[in-house]
C-alpha cells in the first residue's frame, strides 16, 4: 500500500464524500476555537516591533470540504477583531497529501469571498500545498502558526514489521483485544518516531514565538489493551471484514495483511513526547469527548441511545466510510465496500445497546521553545 497515494478522505461532494460527512471534525474545530484564539493572541504578543508585513498560517491535513474554510474564516475573524496592525497580510497554506481533493477546496474558495462578516478584514491569500507533513514543507523560520485537527493520528506508513509479514496481527486491522503485545509496541514505536520527526520539522519552520494547535482523537488510558471506544470502532470494522471472509467474499490473507496506518495516543504520550523533545513549551492541554455519531451533540458517556440502528447507520455511513473507503478499496477492491458497511452497521448498533460511545479528544496549544 502506497500511503501517500491512498491515505485521503473520499473526495467530491457526493453522499460518501468527506465534504458531506465531516461534521465530527467540524465539532472538534468549534470546540477548540478558544484554544486557537489564544494561540493567535500568543503569536501577536511575540511579534517584534515593528510587526512583520505578513503572517503565515498553515493547516496541516486540511482535507476538503467546509471544515477547511471553517479554519481559515475563523482565523481571519479572530485577527480582524484583535486590532491587527494596518497593512498586515495573511498567507494561508492548506496542506494535505497529493491524493487530497484540492480541486474541491479551490472551487469552495468563492464561498469564503462571498461571506459577509461586517468586519474590516486584512488582505489574505490562500494556496494549496500537497505533501507529507513528515517532510519539510516550508523554509526555515517562515510560519507563525500551525493548525492540525485529527491528521496526526495517521502514520507515515504501517510499521515495517507488519507490512512485511514478519509479525502478524491476525483478525485485527488496528490494536484489538487479541493483538499481541509486541505488535502493540510496534504501533507505539511508529507513533513516537513519526511524532518526534513532526516536532523537529515544525520547529525548524516556525518563527520565534510561533505556535501550534494540534488536536488528536486519542484515548484516556495509558493501557493500550484497555483503550476504549476509539479502538472498538476499528475492532468492529475488523469483525465485519471477518464476516466477509467467512462468506468467501474476502481472502483471509488479505485481511491478515491489512493494518491501518493509524495510532490513537493517550494524553500522557503526547505531552511526554513534546516535553522530551525540548523544542516546545506546552501552554495548554485540554481533553473533551464527542459521540461517535456525528449528529449526536450530547457529551454524556454511557447514556442510552434512543435509536441504535439509526445512530449506527450515521456512524458507519456518515463518518467512518468517508474516511476509510480509499484504504479499503486499495487493499480489498471496490466491490466489497457496500456489503462491508451493510455488515458493519448492525455490529455498531449492537455495541450502542451498551450506551452512547464516545471519542476522547485532546487539544494542545504549544509554543516554540526559545533557547540560546
Q: How confident is the model at residue 372 (pLDDT cuts 50, 70, 90)?
A: very low
Q: How confident is the model at residue 135 (pLDDT cuts 50, 70, 90)?
A: very high
The mean predicted confidence, pLDDT, of the chain is 79
Q: Residue 49: give its domain's CATH number.
A: 3.40.50.150
Residue 178: pLDDT over 90:
no
Encode pLDDT of 315-328 as tens digits: 887 678 777 888 88
* pLDDT recorded at residue 127: 92
* pLDDT recorded at residue 146: 95
Residue 203: pLDDT over 90:
yes
Using the structure block, give the residue that is written with the C-alpha cell 484554544: 35
Higher per-residue confidence, 209 vs 110: 209
Which whole number is the average pLDDT over 39-52? 80
**Lowest mean pLDDT segment, chosen from 18-22, 248-252, 290-294:** 18-22
Higher per-residue confidence, 72 vs 365: 72
* pLDDT recorded at residue 204: 94
Among candidates 196, 178, 165, 327, which has minimal Cα distance to 262? 327
Residue 20: pLDDT over 50:
no
Return d(Cα 98, Cα 5) in angstroms, integer.
7
At 281 the three-state DSSP class reads strand
Look at the chain and report how many structural domains it folds into: 1
Residue 115: pLDDT over 80:
no
DSSP, res 226: G
Q: How confident is the model at residue 368 (pLDDT cuts 50, 70, 90)?
A: low
Residue 171 is part of which domain span? Answer: 3-368
* pLDDT recorded at residue 221: 62
Which whole number is the average pLDDT over 273-291? 82
Q: How far apart are the first and last CA of the chain?
A: 43
Any residues with CB less than 8 A from the CB of 108 and at least 6 apart, and which? 64, 65, 66, 68, 69
Q: How confident is the model at residue 7 (pLDDT cuts 50, 70, 90)?
A: low
DSSP, res 317: I
Q: What residue ranges in 64-167 does DSSP mark as E strands?
A: 89-96, 124-130, 143-149
* pLDDT recorded at residue 6: 52
Best mean pLDDT range from 2-6, 173-177, 245-249, 317-321: 245-249
Residue 299: pLDDT over 90:
no
Residue 11: pLDDT over 50:
no
Residue 168: pLDDT over 90:
no
Is residue 357 left, alpha or beta, with left meaning phi > 0 and alpha meaning psi from -120 to 50?
A: beta
Which whole number is the average pLDDT over 69-93? 80
DSSP, res 227: -
Higher per-residue confidence, 64 vs 59: 59
* pLDDT recorded at residue 229: 66
* pLDDT recorded at residue 301: 58
* pLDDT recorded at residue 371: 40
Which whole number is the average pLDDT over 179-208? 91
Cβ-in-10-Å burial (0-12, 13-18, 19+) of 208 comes to: exposed
* pLDDT recorded at residue 153: 79
* pLDDT recorded at residue 145: 94
Q: What residue ranges in 187-297 does DSSP mark as E strands?
A: 206-217, 280-291
The percentage of the chain sitting over the pLDDT mark of 70, rounded to a whole number, equals 79
The percentage of the chain sitting over the pLDDT mark of 90, rounded to a whole number, equals 16
Crossing angle (nearest 10°) for helices 267-277 and 181-205: 50
* pLDDT recorded at residue 21: 47
Return d(Cα 94, Cα 125) in angstroms, integer.
11
* pLDDT recorded at residue 258: 85
Residue 169: pLDDT over 60:
yes
Whether omega for the bond prior to residue 267 falls within 30 degrees of 0, making it cis, is no
Higher per-residue confidence, 86 vs 108: 108
Amino acid at each position: 500500500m502506497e500511503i501517500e497515494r491512498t491515505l485521503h478522505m473520499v473526495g467530491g461532494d457526493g453522499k460518501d464524500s468527506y465534504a458531506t460527512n465531516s461534521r465530527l471534525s467540524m465539532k472538534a474545530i468549534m470546540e477548540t476555537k478558544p484554544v486557537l484564539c489564544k494561540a493567535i493572541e500568543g503569536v501577536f504578543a511575540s511579534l517584534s516591533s515593528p510587526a512583520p508585513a505578513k503572517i503565515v498560517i498553515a493547516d496541516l491535513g486540511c482535507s476538503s470540504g467546509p471544515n477547511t474554510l471553517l479554519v481559515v474564516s475563523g482565523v481571519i475573524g479572530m485577527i480582524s477583531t484583535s486590532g491587527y496592525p494596518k497593512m498586515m497580510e495573511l498567507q494561508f497554506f492548506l496542506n494535505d497529501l497529493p491524493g487530497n481533493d484540492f480541486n474541491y477546496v479551490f472551487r469552495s474558495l468563492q464561498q469564503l469571498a462571498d461571506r459577509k462578516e461586517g468586519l474590516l478584514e486584512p488582505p489574505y491569500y490562500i494556496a494549496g500545498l500537497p505533501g507529507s507533513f513528515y517532510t519539510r514543507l516550508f523554509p526555515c523560520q517562515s510560519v507563525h502558526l500551525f493548525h492540525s485537527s485529527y491528521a496526526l493520528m495517521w502514520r507515515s506508513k504501517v510499521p515495517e514489521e507488519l507490512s512485511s509479514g514478519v509479525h502478524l496481527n491476525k483478525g485485527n486491522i488496528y490494536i484489538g483485544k487479541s493483538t499481541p503485545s509486541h505488535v502493540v509496541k510496534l504501533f507505539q514505536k511508529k507513533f513516537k518516531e513519526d511524532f518526534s520527526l513532526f516536532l523537529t520539522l515544525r520547529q525548524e519552520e516556525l518563527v520565534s514565538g510561533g505556535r501550534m494547535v494540534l488536536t488528536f482523537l486519542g484515548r484516556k488510558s495509558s493501557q493500550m489493551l484497555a483503550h476504549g471506544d476509539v479502538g472498538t470502532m476499528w475492532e468492529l470494522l475488523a469483525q465485519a471484514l471477518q464476516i466477509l471472509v467467512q462468506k468467501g467474499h474476502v481472502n483471509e490473507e488479505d485481511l491478515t495483511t491489512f493494518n491501518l496506518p493509524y495510532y490513537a495516543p493517550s494524553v500522557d504520550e503526547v505531552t511526554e513526547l513534546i516535553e522530551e523533545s525540548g523544542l516546545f513549551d506546552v501552554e495548554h492541554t485540554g481533553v473533551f469527548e464527542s459521540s461517535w455519531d456525528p449528529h449526536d451533540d450530547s457529551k454524556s458517556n454511557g447514556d442510552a441511545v434512543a435509536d441504535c440502528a439509526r445512530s449506527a447507520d450515521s456512524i458507519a455511513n456518515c463518518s467512518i466510510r468517508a474516511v476509510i473507503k480509499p484504504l479499503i478499496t486499495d487493499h480489498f477492491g471496490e466491490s466489497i465496500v457496500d456489503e462491508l458497511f451493510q455488515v458493519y452497521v448492525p455490529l455498531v448498533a449492537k455495541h450502542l445497546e451498551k450506551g452512547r460511545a464516545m471519542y476522547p479528544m485532546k487539544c494542545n496549544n504549544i509554543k516554540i521553545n526559545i533557547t540560546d
